Amino acid sequence: MTVFIIRRLLQSLLVLIVVSVLVFVGVYAIGNPADILIPPDATQSEREAAIVALGLDRPLVVQYGVFLANAVRGDLGRSFVFNQPTIQLILQRMPATLELAFFALFISVFVGIPLGMLAGYYANTTFDRSVMTGSILGFSVPTFWMGMMLIMIFAVLLGWLPSTGRGETGEILGVKTSLATWNGIRHLILPAISLSLFKTSLVIRLTRAGMRETLPMDFVKFARAKGLKKNRIIFVHVFKNILIPIVTVVGMELGSLIAFGVVTETIFAWPGMGKLLIDSIYRLDRPVVVAWLMIVVMMFIVINLLVDLSYSLIDPRIRLQDVKA
């Protein structure tokens, strides 16, 4: 088990380094680094001074070294617009993004899995077919349009829920989050639904496929032959078996929640990391873009590692032998 963890950590480190090289090449070698890092309204002499100060006149390899050294120390540049360290900016906005992502994940799991299990159990009935078609619709609707339509119906026409922005925050377990207040939750509902639609559809389909694969298996028949109650068979025997592929994909798709979060945050004017990215792209605040990339890549790596770990927790066949990762 520990060998497994160490191996994965090393792999993750490798990926991180590769991506850092790619980002570096993208920013410093292809694009004009001066344009990216120096505010566009600087005068010529200011530019020249900045170029020397930033070390842009030194060989590329040295620049990469400096970049890495700074990154390790936690310095990923300063924002042009806010004149703050980029890391600070991003971390400030992370809680908002995370609570949106988790709420969306919550919806997709607690709506998707039950629906998928029902559809798989009552396969080929009208209910099943409707759920399946509905799920195709779910991942066909463009996220941003969905968000807009939700605002239109529930905020503009019906006036039930607020249209944009984050609500009031309170504290849960010492963390400031808008899940703590009813006002905050009201603001979270529409964006979370919009964000979760795609994932919920995927979860429904996955769960149904898992049910269809697992129900005809011999151990289910044996469980029935033992005289077990139907509920126990489905919720213990079958459920634990289908959980494995679901966890894998849910974990992998967590990244897409953050990706589509960018779009949803823009529509709902949600003050998270995603909106910061888009705004920074528009405002040509490129140090923020670079820093954002590095942080998000780190997050993906951590998420993948956690998913792998939990995967081995659920499936004892993997836990109890050394896995070739």
Q: How far apart are CA 290 and CA 97, in angstroms?
A: 18
Partners of residue 171 on adjacent β-strands: 176
Report, in Å, the least distance between residue 303 CB and other proteins.
10
Residue 158 touches other proteins, criterion: CB under 8 A? no
**Which of 83, 71, 14 has the alpha carbon at shortest distance from 294?**
71
Residue tagged 């070294």 (tokens): 65
Q: How far apart are CA 107 and CA 126, in angstroms?
A: 24
Q: Between 25 and 54, how does the x/- string for binding to other proteins read (CB under 8 A)?
A: -xx--xx-----------------------
Report, in Å, the least distance between residue 51 CB and other proteins.
20
Residue tagged 């949106």 (tokens): 100
User: Rule CB under 8 A: which of 162-181 touch other proteins?
Assistant: 163
Which two three-digit tokens encode residue 66?
A: 């400096």
Which two three-digit tokens encode residue 231?
A: 């509920």
Q: How far apart are CA 216 and CA 214, in angstroms?
A: 6
The answer to whether residues 86 and 287 touch, using CB atoms and an 8 Å cutoff, is yes
Report, in Å, the least distance between residue 260 CB and other proteins.
7
Element (H, E) at 216: none
User: Rule CB under 8 A: which of 235-254 touch other proteins?
Assistant: 236-237, 240-241, 244
Residue tagged 């005068």 (tokens): 43
**Which of 295, 297, 324, 294 has the alpha carbon at shortest distance from 308?**
324
Degrees to nearest 5, angle at CA 32 with 29 and 37: 105
Which two three-digit tokens encode residue 268?
A: 């709902």
**DSSP of 44-68:** HHHHHHHHHHTTTTS-HHHHHHHHH
Q: Between residues 255 and 271, which has the closer beta carbon with respect to other proteins?
A: 255
Size of residue set near other proteins by CB under 8 A: 65
Amino acid letter, 192: A
Residue 182 touches other proteins, criterion: CB under 8 A? no
Binder among 21, 29, 175, 217 for other proteins (CB under 8 A)? 217
Binder among 49, 137, 175, 325 for other proteins (CB under 8 A)? 137
Report, in Å, the least distance between residue 36 CB and other proteins.
9
Binder among 143, 169, 177, 200 for other proteins (CB under 8 A)? 143
Residue 101 touches other proteins, criterion: CB under 8 A? no
Binder among 166, 296, 308, 312 for other proteins (CB under 8 A)? 296
Binder among 37, 96, 197, 258 for other proteins (CB under 8 A)? 258
Report, in Å, the least distance between residue 45 CB and other proteins.
28
Residues that bind other proteins in the complex, under the rule CB under 8 A? 15, 18, 26-27, 30-31, 133, 136-137, 139-145, 148-149, 151-152, 156, 163, 216-219, 221-229, 232, 236-237, 240-241, 244, 255-256, 258-260, 262-263, 266-267, 277-278, 281-282, 289, 293, 296-297, 300, 304, 314-317, 320
